[in-house]
Amino acid sequence: AQSVTQPDIHITVSEGASLELRCNYSYGATPYLFWYVQSPGQGLQLLLKYFSGDTLVQGIKGFEAEFKRSQSSFNLRKPSVHWSDAAEYFCAVGAEETSGSRLTFGEGTQLTVNP
């Protein structure tokens, strides 16, 4: 079975600083990987996804993520954080072998941005 670990429950950064949110997955074959963002009381919005090909993927709002098979990681990065990036971030893994778009989510990382 696939699983996802987000080691950081809460991260605080200053506005304008760089950001990296960690995600480690467990799956035997090539996974499909996603990052979602959630504002309080809202649904989840897709930031970016990795299916295959180039291991560095670009997403919306200036985010990018890099798939590293050797480390089973898919870390999310942003060069310069804006106050509006404060939210909860979820990494998720899926696999075609386990019924299509069924995803397993990590426990989330809460991002606080200081002015």
Partner 1 sequence: DGGITQSPKYLFRKEGQNVTLSCEQNLNHDAMYWYRQDPGQGLRLIYYSQIVNDFQKGDIAEGYSVSREKKESFPLTVTSAQKNPTAFYLCASGSRRAGELFFGEGSRLTVL
What's the CA gap between 33 and 7, in Å, rounded?
A: 16
Contact residues for 90 (Cβ-Cβ < 8 A; gap 6+): 6, 35, 36, 37, 38, 44, 105, 106, 108, 109
Q: Which of these segments, 18-26, 54-62, 69-77, 96-104, binds partner 1 (CB under 8 A)?
A: 96-104
108 lines the binding site for partner 1 (CB under 8 A): yes
**What's 19's DSSP letter?**
E
What distances in angstroms separate CA 3 from CA 40, 64, 89, one per listed residue? 24, 21, 16
Residue for token pair 């404060």: 86
52 lines the binding site for partner 1 (CB under 8 A): no
Of residues 41 and 115, the one with the C-beta less far from partner 1: 41
Q: Minimum distance from CB of 56 to partner 1 (Å)?
A: 18
96 lines the binding site for partner 1 (CB under 8 A): yes
Bridge partners (DSSP) of residue 19 are 78
- Site residues for partner 1, 32-51, by CB under 8 A, read 32, 34, 36, 41-46, 49, 51
Q: Minimum distance from CB of 107 to partner 1 (Å)?
A: 4
Q: Which of 53, 54, 70, 99 binds partner 1 (CB under 8 A)?
A: 99
Of residues 11 and 44, the one with the C-beta less far from partner 1: 44
